[in-house]
Chains A and B, each alone.
Chain A
């Protein structure tokens, strides 16, 4: 028995963890070794709970669990390890164990990017763009790998650099399932992390816990799109608690998925318009991006002028253009192919660049 394995035992029993979170490393070991009385004293619980806890802890063969986790090719760090992320050390309820795949290297600045699962194309485009620029500047993007903004942020970061995903389930249970490939990619350059033991299914009550780790890992939390009751706001709360900066990307005042963001702005969160704003806050060098000037035909220029950055319906574009449907539709395809606009569900187009 060592401190590392002792914490692993606690980490494998999520329901016990709340009794342990205030303990020092040597105290955990003591709980394992000592009598029920010691447990009662250290955890501050009654005899009943203490004996149940002891029973639960002793029922696990830690050596075997360690091996099992190794066989799954999953790594873990505990509070007792020197490699435990520094950024989490100061959390009052830092996880006992972090299971991870990939590399926990902390040499880069970390920015968290979170947002709504039900995002708009605008939000996803912005998330991807900013994540990509930040990653290019050598910043690690941490997010929750949920659908929508989270996935977009990871994808953007992967284009240029490193990203870390924090799961609300065991890291062998990739959720949502369509992100399986994404998780593999993230693992290669960054890491996927979870405080929940392998095999834990994705449960709603696990996600706030995950958000505290996301906020904990980051220096700055960036919120792209969040509705009034979005989980992204929980991350923002954790960030506030931990004294981190919160930055918000504003949206349309009519968009329900930006309402939460606008609430944060009213409460005093910073507004950003580009990745450069974040870099400035972090005191990083801006990265000079080379703009490739595309040559557009007369018709394409006209159509592009009618597509705005939020969204414009195809019929409006046709009406405003004045030329025949066929010409406008063909130009829309051309602009799409050049990556200047994007098509969205419902016949909407938005300008990307």
Chain B
């Protein structure tokens, strides 16, 4: 007897429907799965067999064929265990489902005891189901909590195979999973900026970068607090909007955020990959198609510490996503696009030993060594970084004297109002000052004649290597927004120059 059960699989971040056809016929006891299954799907035979037996059903020795349609897409992972088991039970006549079978998708891994375990990407599947007008989804309780974010879907948490069978036959009523809003608007603030003493210029730079979404580079000796400054960023960035939160949760759901509470993620991502990261680790892809760090920092911050240590080819690959806000991975089976709209924050030492320009410690590097170290960060990448700021180590007396800095909360209020101005300027589109096109820069970053004359006169002295005039204007625009200036004023421009000129051009 033939039976069709509906389930889903994921390509990139999107779910597509998979129809699972189960056929039992007389013949030698064989259990085959076709439809391009990978090893984890193949092994599902053993799990299904044991789960059925241990759930007080009978696994009859017959010729079983399972087809996963569409047959030309590669199927991965253990998420088809539950639908295959249900299909088998129906085909064998051990389960008589009511009409709801057709209206539900089901996903889940089975343990040998028959328990349903969570799978990756439940949120994407829930979104896909809702888009296709599917009525409901059967999944493990963990997955159900995640999927319940989608209001229009009836999400049924099933703890084990028998529960799923009883629900489908109508023997047992299971409450639909309720939406869990408990962590809405929750931002984890381990790193409040009030913990950071001194560093006035760096703090100001961070605030500007957050307000305009500018990429930034911090240069400073070890122990100057670059990592701490960067990791506090999520606390001053605006809260995620509900749509953004769903985007982020979807990505982490597919990546498998094991251990984290399954629910909507409201915290802005902060990713800090180590410099030994591989190409696929950063941009995504790989055999099992996973999003990379740049996608995991979507709507958040990607922090690259020790920037020159990252391989040059790794840094090259960042250029496209920085511009396009997404990454397209070309595969033999077709192209795949992951979103990657992140704020790039980099940190590096001023020289290989780290102490060039330090107040206390003498730098031991030769000039050639310093030049080689700096040249490892390519010009094209630096061209995409609007702001550079030097961070110094605090002396003991600084630490004793300085009063605690401003709270993140207060900084965020200013960032929020600067962003509100930007939303108005770009009439609601999600464009930040840092993302302005060349023509938008011309329209929105007009400077007065007085400023122009000043700039022409001063540029030689201030920016010996005058690259990126546009970036200077973009940063000025954000500074003006923060101070509520309609037009970019001379003072805004003058301050912006401070974040374009890193000292030491003369020694190098």
Tell me, rounded to whole Å, the shortest Cβ–Cβ distance linking A19 to chain B.
Answer: 36
Which residues of chain B come closer than 8 Å to A334, judged between CB atoms? 494
Which residues of chain A come closer than 8 Å to B358, judged between CB atoms? 346
Of the residues B357, B391, B454, B492, contact of A345 by C-beta under 8 Å: B357
B498–A337 CB distance below 8 A: no
Of the residues A315, A330, A344, contact of B504 by C-beta under 8 Å: A344
Interface residues of A in 316-353 (CB under 8 A from B): 318-319, 325-327, 329-334, 336-337, 339, 343-348
Tell me, rounded to whole Å, the shortest Cβ–Cβ distance linking B209 to chain A.
Answer: 14
Total interface residues on B, CB under 8 Å, equals: 42
B204–A329 CB distance below 8 A: yes
Please tell me which stretch of B157-165, B423-431, B455-463 contacts chain A, meaning at least 4 of its Cβ atoms lie within 8 angstroms of it.
Answer: B455-463
Interface residues of A in 217-246 (CB under 8 A from B): none
Question: Interface digits, B341-367 against A, CB 8 Å rule (1 contact, 0 not)?
Answer: 000000000100000111100100001
B503–A325 CB distance below 8 A: no
Which residues of chain A come closer than 8 Å to B2, judged between CB atoms? none
A153, CB-defined interface residue at 8 Å: no
Question: Interface digits, B475-508 against A, CB 8 Å rule (1 contact, 0 not)?
Answer: 0000100110000001110110110011110110
Interface residues of A in 60-107 (CB under 8 A from B): none
A346–B200 CB distance below 8 A: no
Complex alpha-carbon distance, A346 and B370, angstroms:
14
A262, CB-defined interface residue at 8 Å: no
Closest to A120 in B: B507
Tell me, rounded to whole Å, the shortest Cβ–Cβ distance linking B308 to chain A.
Answer: 16
Q: Which of A124, A330, A336 has the most chain B CB within a 10 Å cutoff?
A: A330
Counted as pairs of residues, one from A and one from B, with CB atoms less than 8 Å apart, the total is 102
B281, CB-defined interface residue at 8 Å: no
A313, CB-defined interface residue at 8 Å: yes
Tell me, rounded to whole Å, the shortest Cβ–Cβ distance linking B216 to chain A.
Answer: 15
A333–B199 CB distance below 8 A: no
A345–B461 CB distance below 8 A: no
Give the interface SS of chain A, mostly helix, strand, loop or mixed: helix
A314, CB-defined interface residue at 8 Å: yes
Question: Interface digits, B203-223 against A, CB 8 Å rule (1 contact, 0 not)?
Answer: 110000000000000001100
A286, CB-defined interface residue at 8 Å: no
Complex alpha-carbon distance, A124 and B203, angstroms:
31
Interface residues of A in 154-189 (CB under 8 A from B): 176
B246, CB-defined interface residue at 8 Å: no
B495–A326 CB distance below 8 A: yes
Closest to B392 in A: A347
B356–A346 CB distance below 8 A: yes
A271, CB-defined interface residue at 8 Å: no
Of the residues A124, A315, A326, A332, contact of B483 by C-beta under 8 Å: A326
Interface residues of B in 120-144 (CB under 8 A from A): none
Tell me, rounded to whole Å, the shortest Cβ–Cβ distance linking A192 to chain B.
Answer: 21
Complex alpha-carbon distance, A343 and B461, angstroms:
10
Of the residues A256, A319, A325, A337, contact of B458 by C-beta under 8 Å: A337
B32, CB-defined interface residue at 8 Å: no
Tell me, rounded to whole Å, the shortest Cβ–Cβ distance linking A251 to chain B.
Answer: 14
Of the residues A124, A176, A346, contact of B357 by C-beta under 8 Å: A346
A3, CB-defined interface residue at 8 Å: no
Complex alpha-carbon distance, A211 and B491, angstroms:
48
A315–B199 CB distance below 8 A: yes
Closest to B482 in A: A326
A302, CB-defined interface residue at 8 Å: no
Of the residues A117, A333, A344, A347, contact of B201 by C-beta under 8 Å: A347
CB contact under 8 A between A315 and B200, given known A333-B462, A336-B462, A343-B501: yes
CB contact under 8 A between A315 and B392, given known A336-B458, A344-B504: yes
B390, CB-defined interface residue at 8 Å: yes
Complex alpha-carbon distance, A347 and B483, angstroms:
24
CB contact under 8 A between A121 and B494, given known A337-B461, A344-B357, A348-B357: no
Complex alpha-carbon distance, A329 and B479, angstroms:
12
Complex alpha-carbon distance, A314 and B390, angstroms:
10
CB contact under 8 A between A117 and B367, given known A325-B201, A325-B203, A332-B498: yes
Which residues of chain B come closer than 8 Å to A339, judged between CB atoms? 461
A4, CB-defined interface residue at 8 Å: no
Which residues of chain B come closer than 8 Å to A118, judged between CB atoms? 367
B198, CB-defined interface residue at 8 Å: yes
Complex alpha-carbon distance, A329 and B389, angstroms:
12
Closest to B364 in A: A118
Of the residues A147, A148, A333, contact of B498 by C-beta under 8 Å: A333
A333–B200 CB distance below 8 A: no
B198–A315 CB distance below 8 A: yes
Which residues of chain B come closer than 8 Å to A313, judged between CB atoms? 359, 392
Which residues of chain A come closer than 8 Å to B367, judged between CB atoms? 117-118, 147, 176
Closest to B455 in A: A337
Complex alpha-carbon distance, A147 and B507, angstroms:
8
Closest to A328 in B: B200
Q: Which of A256, A327, A334 has the most chain B CB within a 10 Å cutoff?
A: A334
Tell me, rounded to whole Å, the shortest Cβ–Cβ distance linking B349 to chain A.
Answer: 11
Q: Which of B201, B350, B398, B462 has the most chain A CB within a 10 Å cutoff?
A: B201
Which residues of chain B come closer than 8 Å to A344, judged between CB atoms? 357, 503-504, 506
Which residues of chain A come closer than 8 Å to B390, judged between CB atoms? 314, 345-347
A333–B495 CB distance below 8 A: yes
CB contact under 8 A between A337 and B495, given known A318-B200, A326-B479, A346-B358: no
A333–B494 CB distance below 8 A: yes
CB contact under 8 A between A336 and B461, given known A313-B359, A315-B392, A330-B495: yes
Tell me, rounded to whole Å, the shortest Cβ–Cβ distance linking B206 to chain A.
Answer: 11
Closest to A346 in B: B357
Complex alpha-carbon distance, A191 and B303, angstroms:
51
Tell me, rounded to whole Å, the shortest Cβ–Cβ distance linking A131 to chain B.
Answer: 15
Of the residues A318, A319, A337, A343, contact of B454 by C-beta under 8 Å: A337
CB contact under 8 A between A348 and B498, given known A318-B200, A319-B200, A336-B461: no
B201–A326 CB distance below 8 A: no
Interface residues of B in 368-422 (CB under 8 A from A): 389-392, 398, 402
Which residues of chain A come closer than 8 Å to B389, judged between CB atoms? 347
A337–B457 CB distance below 8 A: yes
Closest to B389 in A: A347
Tell me, rounded to whole Å, the shortest Cβ–Cβ distance linking B50 to chain A.
Answer: 65
Tell me, rounded to whole Å, the shortest Cβ–Cβ distance linking B493 to chain A.
Answer: 8
Complex alpha-carbon distance, A339 and B458, angstroms:
9
Q: Which of A118, A343, A344 has the most chain B CB within a 10 Å cutoff?
A: A343
Which residues of chain B come closer than 8 Å to A337, judged between CB atoms? 454, 457-458, 461-462, 494
Tell me, rounded to whole Å, the shortest Cβ–Cβ distance linking A287 to chain B.
Answer: 24
Complex alpha-carbon distance, A350 and B507, angstroms:
15
CB contact under 8 A between A347 and B506, given known A117-B367, A330-B491: no
Complex alpha-carbon distance, A347 and B198, angstroms:
13
Complex alpha-carbon distance, A331 and B494, angstroms:
7
Which residues of chain B come closer than 8 Å to A343, judged between CB atoms? 501, 503
The interface of chain B, by Cβ under 8 A from chain A, is 198-201, 203-204, 220-221, 350, 356-359, 362, 367, 389-392, 398, 402, 454, 457-458, 461-462, 479, 482-483, 490-492, 494-495, 497-498, 501-504, 506-507
7 extra interface residue pairs, beta carbon distance < 8 Å, beyond A147-B367, A330-B491: A117-B367, A314-B200, A315-B398, A326-B479, A326-B483, A347-B357, A347-B391
9 contacts between A and B (CB under 8 A): A330-B495, A333-B458, A336-B458, A343-B501, A343-B503, A345-B357, A347-B201, A347-B357, A347-B389
The interface of chain A, by Cβ under 8 A from chain B, is 117-119, 121, 124, 147-148, 176, 256, 313-315, 318-319, 325-327, 329-334, 336-337, 339, 343-348
In the A-B complex, the 3 residue pairs with the smallest Cβ-Cβ separation, listed nearest first, are A346-B357, A345-B504, A337-B458
